[in-house]
Each structure stands twice: as C-alpha cells, then as structure tokens.
Chain A
Amino acid sequence: MFRIGALLRQLIRNKGFTLFFILNLAMGLAGFIAVLSFGRSLDRHMDENLKEILTADIELSANAPLSLEELALADEVLGKDAGKARLIRFYTMAGAQGDARLVEIMAIDETYPLYGRFKLLHQTPVRVLEDTAAVFMTQDTARTLGFGNTGEGTPVLNLGGKAFELKDIFSEAPETSLSSFELAPKLYMGIKQLEGTGLIKFGSRVRYSYFFRVTDTTDGAGLAQKLRQRFSERFPGLPRLRIHDIRDANRRISRVTGYFTRFMGLISLTGLFLSGIATAYLFRGYLNSRKKDMAILLSLGARKTEIYLAVSSELMVMGTLASGLAIAISQALIPAFPLIFKGLIPDGLRIHTDAFTLMVSVFMGMAGSVVFCLPLFVRIFRIKPLMLLRDIRGDSPFSIGHALLRGAGFLPATAAFFGLSFYVAGSVRDTVFFAAGFALALILLSAMGGLVFSGCRILSRTRSVVGKIAFRNLFRNKWASLSCFVSMAMGAFLISVIPQIQKGLQEEISRPQGLKIPAFFLVDIQEEQKNPFLELIQQEKAELSNLSPMVRGRIISVNEEPFSDHPQASGPAAESRSHGEGRSRRLEFNFSHREALDASETIVQGSPLSKTPWDFESETPFEVSVELSFAERYRIGMGDVLEFEVQGIPLKGRVVNFRKVRWNSFQPNFFLLFQDGVLDDAPKTFLASVSHDSEEKRKTLRQNITTAFPNVSVIDVTQLAGKILSISDRLSVSVRFMAWFSIAAGLVLIFSIARHEALKNQNQMNLLKVLGAGNAAVRAVTLLEFGFTGFSAALSGILLSFGFSFAVAAYFFDSLWKIDPRASLMILGLTTFISMGTAFMASRRVLNSKPVGLLSAMA
C-alpha cells in the first residue's frame, strides 16, 4: 500500500508543497553548512595565523633548560614524531660603535621556526646562524646599533666575548607576539654560537623555549591542557614551566577568535532552529491538507501506524532530497565566497566543508525533518473517519492522553537540538544555556502572543469595517494566529539576538574610530628624561599617544587572603581569558597612574580615582582602579583591599572602580591604576607610544630619539600593530557578514510562514468577495491582519531578544552587548513588510480570479 511508487506519486501530486518544502529545508540546511564551514574555515585560518605568531602548536618555556625527564614527558604526551625547535632569549647590551644598547638575543636552532619564516633582504639561509657567528636584525636595529647601511664593509657586532657578523637584514621575523619581555629590538643568532660569548652566566635572566609542531588533525589546545595536567601530576608544587598553545600566542587575538567561535556557534544554532521551525510549520500545513486523505484511508481500514509510516517516509524522502540540494547549493556557493565577498574575507582563506558537517546535514535532512515534525504527528491520532461524514473542522476534544503524547513528541526534537547544540557549543553547560534560553523564549513569546490576540478583541470594536473584520479574524482564530505569531516572533527573536551581540563584538573587535596605529613603543624612559623627551616629541611634531609611569610590583593578598590562593573565575568567557595560565599564576604586574583616563578606557562601575594625592603616612588604603576582565578573572570585588609590594615596600589599596579597556586601541594600558601620589617616590620608568605618518618621518624620529636618549628602547610596532589590527578587522567583517546571513535566513522563514498563512486565507478572501466585499476591502483586511501579526510578532521577538542577547553576552562574550537600534528597526520593518508583501501577493491571486471557485472547486 505504501510502496515507494505510491509515495513518489503522492509527492509528485502535491508538487507545489513538495517543492516548497524541499527548497525551504534546503535553504536552511545550506545556510547551516555554509555558516559552519565558513566559521570553521575562518577559525582554522586564524589558528594558522596564531601558529605563525607562536611559531609552533605548543611552546614549553622555563627560566632554565628543561631536564631530560621533562623532555621525555613532553615526548610521551606529544609523540616522538612531533616537530621540535628551540629558542633561548635574553636581554643584553650590544653595540658596534660607541654606545651599547639593550637588545634581545634570540638564539635559535636550525629547525626554528616550525611555522612562519624570516623575510630576509638577501635570502641568506637561516642555517648560517648555527654554522657561523652571525646575526640577523632589522634595518632600524642595524642603524640604532651604529651600522649605517649594510654592505659597507663587513659589519661586526661584539656580543660578550665574541664578534658576530651582520649577515642579513630581516623585514619580518616569525615571532611577532608582544610579550612583556619584548622591551628591546631583537637579534637572531644560532644557539651553538652562544658558546664562547659568556653572555649566559649564573643568575642571568634567560628564557628557554621548546617548540612543538603536532599533526594538523591534532587538537593543540587539548594537548597543551593534557601536558599541563601531566606535568602537575609528575612535578607537584608550584610549576616552573609555562605551557602555551596558540591561544596564548596573542591574548588579544585569541580572545576575539574565541568570541568569534562562539558567535559562529550561535549563528549556526540559530539557523538550525529557524530551519526546524520552518520545517515544522510547513509540515503542519501539509498535514492539515492531508487530513481528509487520511480519514479516507482510515475509513478504508488502514491502520494509523501505516499512515505514520507513509507520512514519515514522505518526510524522509523530501528531507533527503533537501539535504542533497543543500549540499549542492552550499558547495556551489562556498567557492564563490572569495569572489562574492572580495576584500571582505581574508586573503588566502580556503573555505571547505568537513565530512562531519556534511554528515550532520544529511542526517538532519533525513531524520531531522521527521524528528522536528514529530509533535505534529499526534494530530494523526486525532483524525477520525467521522470527519468525512460531517464537516468537522476542529480535531477531537482535548484529552490528557493526547496532551501527554504531544508532549512526548517534543522529546526527540529536544534531544536532537540538545545534541546538535552540544556538537556546536562543545559543552553541556553552554548547551543547557542555549536550550533553556530557547525554551524560555518560546514560552514567553506564546504568552505575549496570547496577550496580543486577546487585545485584538478590544481593537475589533472599531467602527472601521476593515479593522473590525481583521481584528475579529485574529482573535477568533486565536490558535492559528498564535502559532503564526510565535513562529514569526521566534524568527525575529533569533535574528535580532545576533545584531545585539554582533554590535558589542564589533565594537570590541574593530579598531576605535580615528585610531592611529602606533609607530613606536618607547620603553625605559627615565624620570629625568621625561621633560626633554616631551620637548623632542613636540619638536618633531610627532603624536605622543600616551606617557605612562610604570612600576613593577607584586600582589600579595586580596582581603588578607594570599593572592596565590585567591579563587579564579569560571565560565566560558573567564576560561578563555585565563586560558593557558594553568596553575602558574602570575604574581608580578605593572602598576601605573594616570591624570585622566585614556580614550580607550571607561569606568563601568564605581567612581573615578581621587585627584588628591595619597598621603604616604595615612593608614587609609589608597584608591585602586582595576581593569574589568582582570577583576573578573581574579574575582576581585568592589571595595576589596589589595596588598601590594613595590620595591620591598608593602602598600594597601582599596578597589574604587572597574575600568573597561579597549585593548584594540593598541595603547599602553594597565590592569591596575593607583591613586595620585602612591607611586611618586617609587623608582619608575615611563612607557609611551608615538605615532607618525610617513615612513621617512618615522626613521628620522627614531634616529633622533636614540641619539638623544641612548638608553631608551624604541620598538617599532607598526608592522605588528598593523598585523593584529588587520586580523581584528577581518574578524569584524566576518562577524558582520555572518550576522546578516542569519538575518537573511530568518527572513526567508518569515516569508514561508506568511505565504502559508496567506494561502490558507484564500477561502476566506473568496467568501468575503462573494458576500460583496470589494477588492480594496478584501486587500485591506488581509494587509491589516498580516501587517499586525508581522509587526506585533517582530516587536515582541525584538524586545525579548534584548534580554536574551544581554544574558548571552554576559555569559559568553564578557558582557559585550549593545543595542543595535538600526538592525532592530530594520528587522521590525522587514518582518512587517515581508508579512504584508507575501499576503498581498497571495491575495492578488484571489482578487484577480473570479469567486466562482467557491461554487465549484471549494465545494
């Protein structure tokens, strides 16, 4: 009875529905595949960038060489086949002629770097560094060290007791992370050549790094975590090793890529949910249209299970066709992405779909459509052959059994959604958060819809005939109106959540408006050099962005509890912030003071620091301003008393405000700012950033600064800042693109619902025409009904999305939340417009045809 042939015949006979169902589901699935593929590919691309910044997948570093036991443990966890490289870095004074300057020695082995490469002026093989006493440096460093232009004789640099030849000039080095150690220009040399220099002595502050490259398919972050755990088990106590993966390569970038990954997860979940709603909605209409067929089948002796089987098979066939089409669409679309979005997506980004995503899509198409439509299957239970004898419009009366059955019908869909959320979000906690949020939204929107349509009773008392008919239709058809309202509102809600988070993310990720990329970071400006330095800057007409005192010290305790024992925050956002820190908690920090806050800083809680200088003799703690994420990470609360140690002197400060810092401003910022007067007598240096327009002017400025202040380290950050800001810009564009993509998918859903409802309304329009209502009146009734439903649904969805997006932002995105009124208005307008426009198109068909159908076809 329900053979394949009959099944296909059934689908072909209902070709309008079949085609629309397949297209709708295919669009949703294609969006899911495309968004996930795009997000994952971009994530991979960013990882590649971060690998180049770290030069490896994993870095182990310590202040002394690793013991054989430690190296063996690393081999055990990472595998003996992992690529390895070594780097020894430390600061020393170096100079070719006259003054010696602070430089950072980067002693590397022949396998360094594992990722990335040197861009060398003369393409000298890097191996040269190991084989001969040679160094690589930048042109600027060469000039600073007094070499003049290369090629003039044989430039020789004395490092300790050994002479090194300047072999080549690099314009780009593999290691570009901006760590606290990077206070001086870098010189690259071979590890073997350290011998005989006498540079590393007992007590020297040296960092030994061991780099590892694992296979592409291995989860580097997971391995790093495993390493941390294994090391802490094997070597209990305070760890001496730091284990970094690519997420630690650059905190700023890894934070935004972390946001991006979660944002991508949110988008694909949203797309998935929208697709589910659309599928279920279409199926509901289909089931209604097939009620009579089913009643006939039942009257002919068919069993309900046979009917279930037939309907499920139809769904599965359509779902499979939809997933096939979706894969075809997505695979056709993905290669076109770089062309369509030229300039918007990163160069060299290769977007490809992984096998698992394809498998999930096929599964979703085949079984997903049945699973999502399962709650509606209960309707089949309520179909009785009796309806053939009487014009029974409603189903059989409410019964607890049916209600329970219907409730049970939601379980597989809930489980499937839960499972997919887990696949996308990767944690049970995040999944529960999403699932509970969506369920709560569904309940609240249903309640809001109930209120809206109850209110229509009052609105129907209007004198206007159109208003009376339209509003009466809405409240009398309460359940049908409500399901349309909830589906539309859910669509508007989901697509509206995205822009609120996107706006916050965008602001965090994108570079602040009017920001000039700094050219130099100037480190180690002595107190007595401050005023002459300012004069020089003025003279050179350069822009000094920031001149901040910097005092290094330790945090001893928080509210008299030792800082090393003080609890740390948990949760996904906090985890991403403290990622890689493991058990090796940092105790030393840089403290500073500001007359006024920098443009990149805003106080989010508490009051500004007092302008009155703190009295050193006072027993009252001085005022401290704490950076917000730092306070959250270390669970520092407002009013907490922190004990510091600066140059051996204990100091007590009380937290009076939390500051939000836009780290992307690329300005010298500090986690902790002290009240005026606290650091006055402490030995300090100054840190500044300077921007200058042209490369030529930068060169002159650099030369003049180094001549006037030989001790000051001038670090050229133009390239690095540009690189990091460019990554931020790419992410920013991608976030915006994906947000609009999800909005487009949501609007397609709203169109589907409006179309379905409008087609359902055709009989009513016809009847109104027969009763003498003019075309204008019928059109006005339809537009008012759909306009009101679309508008109220979108408004409710948008209002609810404000609360939900705020919670999502607080939980996942460090409270990066901002209302995007433009996007909200646009969603409101477009939803209303699509709802009305679709109804208008459907009504046009009825209005242009003769109402004679009521006598024949409808009868």
Chain B
Amino acid sequence: MILELSDVSKSYRQTRSESLVVLKNISFSLDRGQTLAIIGQSGSGKTTLLSLIAGLDSPDSGQIMLEGKNIAAMAEKELSRYRAGKTSIIFQQFHLMPHLTAEENISLPLEILKQKKIRELTHDMLEKVGLQDRRHHLPAQLSGGECQRVAIARALVVKPALLLADEPTGNLDIETGEKIARLLFDLVEKENKTLILVTHNPSLAGQCREILTLEKGCLL
C-alpha cells in the first residue's frame, strides 16, 4: 500500500462564526501502480482532497500516510522534500513558468532536487511527450495541448511515488484532451506510477482502475 487516508476532514472558515465543511471523515487506500479517479460535482471537495494528498494544505483531522509516513504531521521543511520527491501535480491551468522554455520547465524540479544528469533526464522526458522539436519554445508559443505535455513531463521527470492530476484535460478540446489522457495513462503504465486523478469527465475517469465519488465532502 502506498497511500492510506483515515478519517480526513477539512473545513474552511466562512465568517467568524461559520465554517464550511469541505471534507468529512474521508478514508481510503491505494496500492502502488494503481490509478484512481475521484469524481463529483463542482464544490464536492475533489480539489481540496487532492491538495491535502499533495501536501499543499493540511487536514483538520485524520491521517494521510504516504509510504508509511503521515504527511499531515510533517513540518514545512519536510513537506517541501515530500512535494519535491514523492508527489507531482498536473494542473488544469498547466502552471508553467512563463519565462522558461519547455525544456527548462521540465528540468526545473530536477534542479530543485539538485539531481545529476538533468540534461539527459529532461531530453528523455521531452522525447516521451513528443516535444523534442518544441523544447526551446516558451509556454506562450505552445498550444494548450503542448503546454499540458510539458506539465506532464515536468511531473514525471522526478519519478514521483504518487502522481496527482487536477482536471488535466479540462482546459483542452476533446481531441487534444483524449490525446493527452492517452499519453498520461501510457506513461503511468510504462513508469508504473500511482495516479490519482480528479475530474468530472466520466470518460477520463473510466480509464482509471478505481473510481471514488465525492458528494458534499463525503465518499459515496
């Protein structure tokens, strides 16, 4: 088992006296190499759940164990290491560094991790996502699909234990979205990665081995 969530709850304060419960006692586990889709309507708590697993936010209660370590109890320094080495996120809006080329965007997490053979690893990823000829282009010069390929490559280049994707095709047209989804699942399979994908696209969710449905902060 790579990931285990036990009774994870999260709420956000709305006013001084009121708070909105976004997640309520969420528990599930995931084995290595598995792919999981979390689906639900807007406002059901999908993105919040993803951000807790990614270590971008902390739960109010409960445990999130990744490879036996509770990330909910980690200090900021440890969380940074966790984010850099154990997880990677693919965003709906890509979130590439606008002033860096495709190649530089992909190599950025490797630089942060101070890894060796950055050039080789980056080129390998560029090849895998089919962007060798676009490697010197800036995000503004790339299409939406190409930007998302760069984002996928950036996420996979550090070989994370857990890959998280937040509506990875939500910003793309159907055809490009399908291509990107195919690429993502191919790479996950080839690299034997564990994937958690948040979407409200049933066809994309259907490509995962497991599907969890969230409704009003609770798992159905």
The CA-CA distance from A858 to B89 in the complex, in Å, is 15
Number of A-B contacts (CB under 8 A): 87
Give the contacts of A613-659 with B (CB-CB under 8 A). none
Known contacts A850-B57, A852-B56, A856-B47; A468 and B111 CB within 8 A of each other = yes
In the complex, the chain B residue whose C-beta lies closest to that of A392 is B140
Q: Which residues of B contact A599 (CB under 8 A)?
A: none
Contact with B along A778-798 (1 / 0, CB 8 A): 000000000000000000000
Do A771 and B92 touch (CB < 8 A)? Answer: no
Residues of B within 8 A of A774 (CB): 76-77, 80-81
Q: By the criterion CB–CB under 8 Å, are B91 and A859 in contact?
A: yes
- Inter-chain contacts of B114 with A (CB < 8 A): 465
Instruction: Decide: A773 near B112, CB < 8 A? Known: A393-B98, A858-B95.
Output: yes
Q: Are A850 and B56 in contact (CB under 8 A)?
A: yes
Minimal beta-carbon separation of B149 from chain A (angstroms): 15
- Determine whether B181 belongs to the interface, using a CB cutoff of 8 Å to chain A: no
A-facing mask of B107-123, CB < 8 A → 1, else 0? 01101111000000000
Inter-subunit contact A852/B57 (CB<8 Å): yes
In the assembled complex, B83 has its CB within 8 A of some CB on chain A: yes
Closest partner residue, chain B, to A475 (CB atom): B99
Q: Of the candidates B51, B91, B113, which one forms a contact with A772 in the assembled complex, judged by CB atoms under 8 Å apart? A: B113
Chain A proximity mask over B144-181: 1 for CB below 8 Å, otherwise 0: 10010000001000100000001000000000000000
Q: Which residues of A contact B81 (CB under 8 A)?
A: 772, 774
Establish whether residues B109 and A855, one from each chain, have CB atoms under 8 Å apart when the complex forms.
Answer: no
B108 engages A771 (CB within 8 Å)? yes
Q: Is the CB of B56 within 8 A of A770?
A: yes
Stretch from A55-63, A557-565, A761-769 at the B interface: A761-769
> A732 vs B104: C-alpha distance in the bound complex, in angstroms?
57
Q: Which of A391, A394, A773 contacts B80 (CB 8 A)?
A: A773
The answer to whether B109 and A771 touch across the interface, beta carbons within 8 angstroms, is: yes
Interface flag for A854 (CB, 8 Å): yes
Contact A465 B83 (CB under 8 A): no
Q: Are B84 and A772 in contact (CB under 8 A)?
A: yes
Q: Which residue of the partner chain, among A469, A854, A856, contacts B111 with CB atoms under 8 Å?
A: A469
A390, B109: Cβ atoms closer than 8 Å: no
Q: Which residues of A contact B158 (CB under 8 A)?
A: 772
Nearest B residue to A778 via CB reads B80
Contacts of A772 in B (CB 8 A): 80-85, 109, 112-113, 158
Interface assignment of A476: CB less than 8 Å from any CB of chain B: yes
* A851 CB within 8 Å of chain B: yes
On whether the beta carbons of B58 and A771 are closer than 8 Å, the reply is no
Q: How far is the CB of B142 from the nearest CB of chain A, in Å?
A: 10
Question: How far, in Å, is B20 (CB) from chain A's closest CB?
Answer: 13
Task: Contacts A854-B56, A855-B47 given; indicate if A775 touches B80 (C-beta within 8 A).
Answer: yes
Q: Evaluate contact between A852 and B99: CB separation under 8 angstroms.
A: no
Interface residues as binary, B71-111 with A (CB distance below 8 Å gives 1, 0 otherwise)? 00000110011111100010111110111100010001101
Contact A477–B108 (Cβ < 8 Å):
no
Given A850-B57, A854-B95: A777 and B140 within 8 A (CB)? Answer: no
A161 shortest CB reach to chain B, Å: 98
A852 contacts B111, C-beta separation under 8 Å: no
Q: Which interface class (under 10, 10 to 19, 20 to 34, 35 or more) fits B?
A: 35 or more
Q: Which residues of A contact B131 (CB under 8 A)?
A: none
Q: Is the CB of A764 within 8 A of B97?
A: yes
In the complex, what residues of B have CB within 8 A of residue A511's CB?
A: none
**Is B8's beta carbon under 8 Å from chain A?**
no
Tell me, in angstroms, the Cα distance from A169 to B157 when the chains sit together.
Answer: 99
The interface residues of chain B lying within 8 Å CB-to-CB of A468 are: 111
In the complex the two chains form, is B56's CB within 8 Å of A855's CB? Answer: yes
Indicate if A702 sits at the interface (CB-CB under 8 A). Answer: no
Q: Is A472 at the interface (CB under 8 A from chain B)?
A: yes
A473 interface residue per 8 A CB criterion: yes
Task: Indicate whether B50 reaches chain A with its CB closer than 8 angstroms.
Answer: yes
Within 8 A of B (CB), among A474-519: 476-477
- Interface hits, A187-226 → B, CB 8 Å: none
> Count of chain A residues with Cβ under 8 Å from any Cβ of B?
31
- In Å, the complex CA distance between A342 and B45 comes to 64
For A394, list chain B residues within 8 Å (CB).
Answer: 140
Contact of A473 among B94, B99, B109, B111 (CB under 8 A): B99
Known: A392-B140, A468-B111. A767 touches B97 (CB 8 A): yes
User: Known: A769-B80, A850-B58. Is A855-B112 also a contact (CB below 8 A)?
Assistant: no
CA A858 to CA B50, docked complex, whole Å: 16
B41-57 near A? 1/0 per residue, CB < 8 Å: 00000010011001011
A578-609 contact mask (Cβ, 8 Å, vs B): 1 or 0: 00000000000000000000000000000000
Q: In the complex the two chains form, what is the Cα distance from A767 to B113 in whole Å?
A: 15
How distant is A128 from chain B, measured CB to nearest CB, in Å? Answer: 85
| Least CB separation from B76: chain A residue | A775
Counting chain A CB atoms within 10 Å of each CB, the highest count among B97, B98, B144, B147 belongs to B97
Q: Write out the residue numbers on chain B whose beta carbons fall within 8 Å of the beta carbon of A770.
A: 54, 56, 83, 89, 95
* B residues in contact with A775, CB < 8 Å: 76-77, 80
Interface residues of A in 366-391 (CB under 8 A from B): 390-391
**Smallest CB gap from A473: residue in B:** B99
A690 shortest CB reach to chain B, Å: 74
Contact across chains for B97 and A851 when beta carbons are under 8 A apart = no
**Which chain B residue shows the least CB distance to A479?**
B99
Q: Chain A residue with minimal CB distance to B170?
A: A859
Chain A residues within an 8 Å CB radius of B91: 854-855, 859
Of chain A, the residue at the smallest CB distance from B87 is A772
Closest chain B residue to A776, Cβ basis: B77
A859 touches B97 (CB 8 A): no
Contact flag A773-B47 (CB < 8 Å), given A469-B111, A767-B97, A850-B56? no
Q: In the complex, which residues of chain B have a beta carbon less than 8 angstroms from the beta carbon of A476? A: 99-100
* Distance, CA A854 to CA B93, complexed state (A): 9
Contact between A768 and B56, CB atoms less than 8 A apart: no
The closest CB in chain A to the CB of B143 belongs to: A390
Q: Which A residues lie within 8 Å of B50 (CB)?
A: 855
For the complex, give the distance between the alpha carbons of A771 and B166 in Å. 15
In the bound complex, CA of A254 to CA of B89 (Å): 73
CA distance A469 to B109 in the complex (A): 11
Is B93 touching A858 in the complex (CB atoms < 8 A)? yes
Given A476-B99, A767-B95, A771-B84, do A465 and B112 touch, yes or no (CB 8 Å)?
yes
Cα A772 to Cα B85 with chains together (Å)? 7
Task: For the complex formed, measure the closest distance between the CB of A537 and the CB atoms of chain B, giving whole angstroms.
Answer: 78
A851 to B111 CA separation, bound complex (whole angstroms)? 20
- Contact between B51 and A855 (Cβ–Cβ < 8 Å)? yes
Q: Assess whether B99 is in contact with A859, with CB atoms less than 8 Å apart.
A: no
Residues of chain A lying within 8 A (CB to CB) of residue B93: 391, 858-859
A391: B residues at CB distance < 8 A: 93-94, 139-140, 144, 147
Separation of A842 and B81 alpha carbons in the complex (Å)? 23
A477 touches B99 (CB 8 A): yes
Complex CA distance for A477 and B166, rounded to whole angstroms: 28
Residues on B with beta carbons closer than 8 Å to the beta carbon of A769? 80, 83
CA distance A477 to B97 in the complex (A): 11
A355 and B139 alpha carbons, distance in the complex (Å)? 55
A476 CB to closest chain B CB (Å) equals 4
Neighbouring B residues of A465 by C-beta, 8 Å: 111-112, 114
Nearest CB on A from B94, distance (A): 8
Task: Please state if A472 and B100 are interface contacts (CB–CB under 8 Å).
Answer: yes
Specify which of A473, A477, A770 lies most central, judged by the most chain B CB atoms within 10 Å of its CB. A770
Looking at the assembled complex, report how far the CB atom of A770 sits from the nearest CB atom of chain B, in whole angstroms.
6
Within 8 A of B (CB), among A50-100: none
A848 smallest CB distance to B (angstroms): 9
B40 to chain A, nearest CB (A): 15
CB contacts (< 8 Å) of A854 on chain B: these are 56, 91, 95
**Chain A, Cβ-Cβ closest to B167:** A859
- 5 residue pairs of the A-B complex, CB under 8 angstroms, read A392-B140, A465-B114, A469-B111, A772-B80, A850-B58
Known: A391-B144, A850-B58, A856-B51. 8 other contacts (CB 8 A): A393-B98, A393-B139, A394-B140, A769-B83, A770-B89, A770-B95, A771-B108, A850-B57
The list of the 8 closest CB pairs from A to B, nearest first, reads A772-B84, A476-B99, A774-B80, A852-B57, A852-B56, A772-B83, A852-B51, A773-B112
